[in-house]
Each structure stands twice: as structure tokens, then as C-alpha cells.
């Protein structure tokens, strides 16, 4: 595996360049200008959506070429001449689209030879930007879909279609809102950018330090405390970042050394942080780019997605918490000494006011304001609230740094949302989604559980090479219609794809979140990734719970049914955690582990006769474990 990763390394995304002097100032000012342009576009600016998308992609793709080296041996302290040429073309493509689009509409989308050549060049430049900033798997998959669109007659069986010529493909993909400038990029240019900017401003007030101290005050003194601190801090950071890698870099620098200090191996410390940070994408109110795209796909308000996301996120973090707690018990881990745990009251008194912007933005969304307005109001709230205390007050330099960081963080999101437009456009042109949906229904024999397993496998396999946003788009476009065709509510079907797409950050071999954590922990990347996948294993079954029990997503909601199903779901995850770790009241034997595994699985469907079966399985497993535990503790 390490040899394969080494061979692929020249083609994977590399760390951003680090500049100094006037070059650093120039790039920083450009990034600040990009953020200000987006603030203008999303407030006072009035632009046609496709032109706004072109400006969004052009400015951020240009930033990508400046920041991301082409190869490991490329200069790390300055862009090359080729980088500047590609950045210049990126800006030119935006200007060309803004000027030319109205003319193309007047010509009924009849492109000139110049349009087609520039369109073909745009495909190549976007693919290169994607390779640099996102990696080669998504780039190759997107280009493969273009090839499938062109050479449809040569594909076998049900996958064959009549095919389209290159001119029609280029017009659809480059000059309409059904390709790279489609829905996914619209979401990136609006909601995603503004919420990333909101997170950047909140980070500029050193809120991440407050979250770390708060998590440490809440959980640091308990067994395996630093691991629990990692879970809580990652959940808190997830509310403002929506990025698993940013979550690792922020909280991991603090929690990983603490975990290693009390005796966790380096690979396990990295895995805890990676698996917990991955859940940050699931945590409202931001939830990364994917949730905003889901809102656009389903045509429902984002607030409904946000509210539906609370229960799955809490259950995911409960699963990680159960796993690390049981592992700490099995290894005899203790918490941190009292003198190393900050006072909760003092922590809240000094920086607790920084929770106000988060509460405010949630209120704005629930009150019915648009995500864009809520994000802008949240930015104002951060500036006002942070000024209440010197420890959080932002200077002009802090504000400029936040504007710069917002643009830099948004660049790979914009590129990935653009290039998956090839996939979305191809599926729309060829009808591939309907073909795969019908085949999933056929292969499953009409059984929902079998369809869910097929979609889960497809999501996890795709997740091995795609970032979570791209994985969700592919699965939601192709597999979610199959689930909807079998009676699964649309929101539950898309959350199913969203959840498994999120796990791509810890699924080897391209587990970007785990590899980031490995760099901080010093553990072997592959071992960190495999251990992270193991720690999330108790939550792997969670999407089955909210498909069979959509009340967890607030569908057909009532408090009685919600609390009952939530409690049984948490119990099921606890059973699975105990089975995987092999510890409960005492260490378990294989028979006890198998009993708890069965109990965790059957708790998926706690309805009618299923409720009696589920509770019976749990009580039987618990009784067996209780008897065996007493036998182990009785002296011979």
C-alpha cells in the first residue's frame, strides 16, 4: 500500500505554497479581493447566475494555480511561469463568459470555432486545477464521464447509448448551467463561500482555542479524557468549519499530543482525531458544502436539512465516544490530572460569549431567513460580539487574514464543485442515473435492505477516491433515485448518500482526513486510516436506522416517537461498539460479542414485532454478558 501511495504521490494534491515578502502580500491582497467580490455578489451585486458562477470559478481557479504546485519538485516559494499563465487564463475564462454569454443566447447557443476551442481548453485547465487541488481520482472519474457521454455506443449492454458529438458536449458542459456552471457551482458561489467565510472570521477570534478549553473542561478528567476531548472539540469545531481536514489541523494539534501523553499509540491518537473530525461535516449549522447542495437538489430550505442533521450528527459522535471510552476502559486509561484541566466556569466567563454568533445564525436560519442573509448577519455578529473582550477582539489584520483564509479555503471546493458538473451533465444527457437505479432495484429483488447494502457499497467504493462532496453528488445522482423508487423519503435517501460520502475522509486508500491526522500524530498513514475506519464502524449502520426510522430526520415527527427511536438507536450503537471493542462490564468473549453484534443490528427496526425482537435480543445479550462477567470476577 505504501508503495502504491508513493507512486501516486506526484499526482495527488500537494500542500499549498508558502510565500514571503512582496509576493505574500500580493497573493494575500488578491485573496482578500476575491472574498470582497463574493461579499458584493451575494449582497448588493445583481448578476445572472451563470455569470456569477463564472466569476466565482475563474477567480478561485486562478488562486488555485498560484497556491498549488504542479508536482512535488515544483517551486514551493513562488508560482512558475506556467502557473501564472494558467491563472491568467482562469480569469480570462470568467471575463469571456460574462461578455460572451448574452451573445450565445442571442445565437440560440450556436458556438463559433473560437468558442469551441476555448471550451476544450477550459476542460483541460479545469482538469489540471482539479488534479492539483483535489487529486487525481475525482479528475479521472469526471473525465471518464465525458468519455462515456461521447462514446456511448461502444459500451456494453444496458450502459450503451447513442452518444453525442464533441460540439454538443462542450456546449452543454461549458456554456450552459447544466455543466460546470450548474447547481453545484451555484451552491459553492453562494452559501458555501459565505459560510466558509463565516467560519474563517470565527476562527480569527480564536474560537477554536475556546472550543478546545471547553472540551477539556468537560471531559479531560475522565478515563481516556484526551480522546473524549478530541471528540467534543471536533464536534464543536464542526459547527463552524464544515471541513474535516481543517478540523484535524485545528483541534488535532492540541488533542493528539494529549492522547499520546496518557499512553495512546500514535496511530490510535491520529485515528481518533480523524474519525471525530470527519463527523464535523455532519454537524449543523454549516455541514460543509454537501448539505447546501442537497438543499438545492431536493428543492427544500436549508434549515430543514440543518434541523434534520442534528440527530445523525449527535449519534455519530456518540458512536465515536462509546468506542474511545470502551477502548480506554480496556487499556486501563485514566484522565488528565486535575491541575491540567481548565475550570469550566472560568472558560465560559472568559470566552463563552463567542457561542452567541453560532446561536444567532441558527436562530436566523430557523426563523426563516435565507442562508445568505444569515451568513452575512453572522459575520456582523462575530465582529460585534468579539469586540466585547480584548482576548477575542479582532484587529484589522485579523479581519484581512480571515478574508484571505476564506478565499483560500473555498478554492478547492469551487474546483471540485465545478468538475463534478461533468458527472452531473453526463448523467443528465445519457440517462445513466435511471439505468443504474433500475438495475439496483432489479438486483435487490425489490428488497429495501438489499438496495441499501448495494448503495452503501457503491458509496464507500466511490469514497475511496473522492472527497465527500463529490461522492455525495455521484451517489445522489445515481443511487438515491433507486431508494426513492422503493418508497424511501427523498430526504432520507439523500442523507443516506450524504452520510456515506462523508466517511470518504477515513476510508483507505485515499483517506485525506486520516492522512492529515497521521502527519500530526507521527503514525503510519495507512494504519491511521484503517484504525479510523474501525472507530467509525459502530456508526456504519446508522444510515440504516434513519431510513427505517425517518423520524430521526424529523420526518413525520412527534416527540414521543423521536425520543424513543433516538434512545433505541443510541442503544444499538452502544451494542455495536461493545461488540467491536470487546469490552462492557468486563472484557467479552466471542459469544458475547456476537450476541451484542446481533442486538445492534436488529435494533435497526424497532417497530411492531421488530421492537419486541430488538429488545429481546438486547436483554438476552446483556444477561449473557452479566452472567459471564460475574463468573470472571468471582475468585476461583
Is pLDDT at 493 greater than 80 in this prediction? yes
- Residue 484: the pLDDT is 86
Q: Which of 496, 490, 506, 595 has its CA nearest to residue 544? A: 496
Tens of pLDDT, residue by residue over 340-377, are 788 888 888 888 888 888 888 888 888 888 888 888 88
What Cα–Cα distance (Å) separates residue 67 from each residue in 19, 297, 567? 9, 31, 47
| The three cell numbers locating residue 246 | 481543517
Q: What is the pLDDT of residues 102-121, one digit of tens each?
A: 999 888 888 899 999 999 99
Provide the pLDDT confidence category of residue 12 given band limits of 50, 70 and 90: very low
What number is the average pLDDT over the span 464-480? 74
pLDDT, tens only, 147-191: 999 998 988 877 888 889 999 999 999 998 888 998 889 888 988
CA distance 512 to 505: 5
Answer yes or no: is pLDDT of 510 > 90. Answer: no
- Size (the chain), residues: 636
Mean pLDDT score, 427-431: 85
pLDDT digits (tens, 9 = 90+) for 32-59: 999 999 999 988 877 899 999 999 999 9
How far apart CA 524 and CA 421 sit, in angstroms, is 35
pLDDT confidence of residue 107: 85
Lowest mean pLDDT among 4-18, 126-140, 233-247, 514-528: 4-18
Q: What is the pLDDT of residue 470?
A: 75
412 secondary structure, DSSP code: H
Is residue 631 very low, low, confident or very high in pLDDT (cuts 50, 70, 90)?
A: confident
The whole-chain average pLDDT of the chain stands at 85
Alpha-carbon span 578 to 584, nearest angstrom: 6
pLDDT of the residue at 44:
82
Q: What is the pLDDT of residue 530?
A: 86
pTM of the model: 0.78
Is the separation of the CB atoms in 515 and 292 below 8 Å?
Answer: no
Contact 151, 163 (CB under 8 A): yes
Query: Could you give the percent of the chain with pLDDT greater than 70?
Result: 94
Which of residues 87 and 330 earns the better pLDDT score? 87
**What is the residue extent of each domain of the chain?**
2-176, 431-507, 553-636
Share of the chain above pLDDT 90, in %: 27
Instruction: Read off the pLDDT of residues 561-601 as tens digits, 9 standing for 90 and up.
Output: 899 889 989 999 999 999 999 888 888 889 999 999 999 88
**C-alpha to C-alpha distance for 297 and 428, rounded to whole angstroms:** 13
Q: Are 398 and 319 in contact (CB under 8 A)?
A: no
Position 314 confidence tier, pLDDT thresholds 50, 70, 90: very high
Write out pLDDT tens, residues 437-471. 777 777 887 788 888 888 888 777 766 656 677 77
Evaluate whether 291 touches 283 at the Cβ level (below 8 Å). no
Q: What is the rounded average pLDDT of the residues 216-222?
A: 83
* Per-residue pLDDT, 32: 96
Amino acid at each position: 500500500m505504501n508503495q502504491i501511495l508513493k507512486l501516486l504521490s506526484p499526482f495527488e494534491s500537494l500542500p499549498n505554497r508558502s510565500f514571503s515578502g512582496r509576493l505574500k502580500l500580493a497573493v494575500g491582497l488578491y485573496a482578500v479581493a476575491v472574498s470582497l467580490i463574493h461579499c458584493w455578489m451575494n449582497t448588493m451585486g445583481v448578476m445572472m447566475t451563470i455569470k456569477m458562477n463564472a466569476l466565482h470559478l475563474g477567480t478561485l481557479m486562478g488562486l488555485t494555480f498560484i497556491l498549488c504546485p504542479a508536482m512535488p519538485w515544483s517551486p514551493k516559494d513562488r508560482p512558475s511561469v506556467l502557473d501564472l499563465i494558467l491563472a491568467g487564463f482562469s480569469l480570462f475564462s470568467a471575463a469571456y463568459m460574462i461578455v460572451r454569454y448574452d451573445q450565445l443566447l442571442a445565437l440560440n447557443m450556436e458556438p463559433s470555432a473560437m468558442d469551441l476551442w476555448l471550451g476544450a481548453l477550459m476542460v483541460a485547465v479545469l482538469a489540471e486545477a482539479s488534479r492539483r487541488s483535489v487529486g487525481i481520482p475525482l479528475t479521472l472519474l469526471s473525465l471518464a464521464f465525458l468519455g462515456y457521454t461521447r462514446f456511448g455506443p461502444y459500451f456494453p449492454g444496458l450502459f450503451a447509448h447513442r452518444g453525442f458529438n464533441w460540439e454538443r458536449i462542450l456546449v452543454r458542459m461549458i456554456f450552459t448551467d447544466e455543466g460546470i456552471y450548474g447547481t453545484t457551482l451555484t451552491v459553492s458561489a453562494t452559501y458555501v463561500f459565505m459560510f466558509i467565510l463565516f467560519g474563517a472570521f470565527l476562527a480569527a477570534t480564536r474560537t477554536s482555542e475556546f472550543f478546545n478549553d471547553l472540551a477539556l473542561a468537560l471531559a479531560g478528567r475522565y478515563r481516556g479524557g484526551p480522546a473524549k476531548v478530541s471528540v467534543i472539540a471536533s464536534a464543536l469545531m464542526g459547527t463552524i468549519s464544515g471541513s474535516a481536514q481543517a478540523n484535524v489541523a485545528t483541534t488535532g494539534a492540541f488533542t493528539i499530543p494529549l492522547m499520546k501523553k496518557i499512553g495512546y499509540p500514535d496511530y490510535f491518537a491520529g485515528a481518533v482525531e480523524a474519525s471525530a473530525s470527519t463527523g464535523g461535516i455532519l454537524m449543523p449549522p454549516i455541514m460543509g458544502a454537501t448539505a447546501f447542495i442537497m438543499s438545492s437538489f431536493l428543492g427544500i430550505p436549508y434549515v430543514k436539512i440543518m434541523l434534520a442533521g442534528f440527530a445523525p450528527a449527535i449519534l455519530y459522535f456518540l458512536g465515536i465516544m462509546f468506542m474511545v471510552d470502551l477502548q480506554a476502559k480496556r487499556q486501563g486509561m485514566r484522565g488528565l490530572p486535575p491541575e491540567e484541566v481548565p475550570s469550566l466556569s472560568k472558560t465560559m466567563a472568559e470566552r463563552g460569549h463567542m457561542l452567541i454568533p453560532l446561536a444567532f445564525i441558527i436562530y436566523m436560519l430557523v426563523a426563516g431567513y435565507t442562508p445568505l442573509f444569515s451568513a452575512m448577519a453572522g459575520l456582523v455578529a462575530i465582529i460585534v460580539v468579539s469586540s466585547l473582550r480584548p482576548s477575542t477582539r479582532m484587529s484589522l489584520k485579523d479581519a484581512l487574514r480571515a478574508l484571505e483564509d476564506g478565499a483560500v479555503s473555498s478554492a478547492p471546493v469551487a474546483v471540485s464543485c465545478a468538475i463534478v458538473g461533468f458527472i452531473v451533465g453526463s448523467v443528465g444527457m445519457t440517462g445513466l442515473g435511471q439505468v443504474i437505479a433500475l438495475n439496483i432495484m432489479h438486483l435487490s429483488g425489490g428488497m429495501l435492505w438489499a438496495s441499501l447494502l448495494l448503495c452503501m457499497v457503491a458509496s464507500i467504493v466511490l469514497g475511496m477516491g473522492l472527497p465527500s462532496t463529490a461522492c455525495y453528488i455521484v451517489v445522489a445522482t445515481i443511487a438515491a433515485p433507486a431508494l426513492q423508487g422503493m418508497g424511501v423519503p427523498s430526504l432520507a435517501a439523500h442523507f443516506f448518500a450524504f452520510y456515506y460520502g462523508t466517511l470518504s475522509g477515513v476510508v483507505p486508500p485515499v483517506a485525506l482526513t486520516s492522512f492529515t491526522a497521521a502527519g500530526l500524530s507521527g503514525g503510519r498513514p495507512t494504519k491511521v486510516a484503517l484504525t479510523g475506519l474501525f472507530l467509525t464502524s459502530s456508526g456504519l449502520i446508522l444510515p440504516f436506522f434513519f431510513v427505517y426510522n425517518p423520524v430521526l430526520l424529523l420526518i413525520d415527527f412527534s416527540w414521543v416517537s423521536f425520543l424513543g427511536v433516538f434512545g433505541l438507536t443510541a442503544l444499538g450503537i452502544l451494542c455495536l461498539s461493545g461488540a467491536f471493542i470487546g469490552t462492557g462490564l468486563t472484557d467479552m468473549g466471542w459469544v458475547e460479542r456476537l450476541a451484542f453484534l446481533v442486538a445492534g443490528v436488529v435494533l435497526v427496526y424497532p417497530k411492531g414485532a421488530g421492537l419486541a425482537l430488538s429488545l429481546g435480543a438486547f436483554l438476552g445479550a446483556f444477561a449473557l454478558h452479566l452472567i459471564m462477567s460475574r463468573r470472571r470476577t468471582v475468585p476461583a
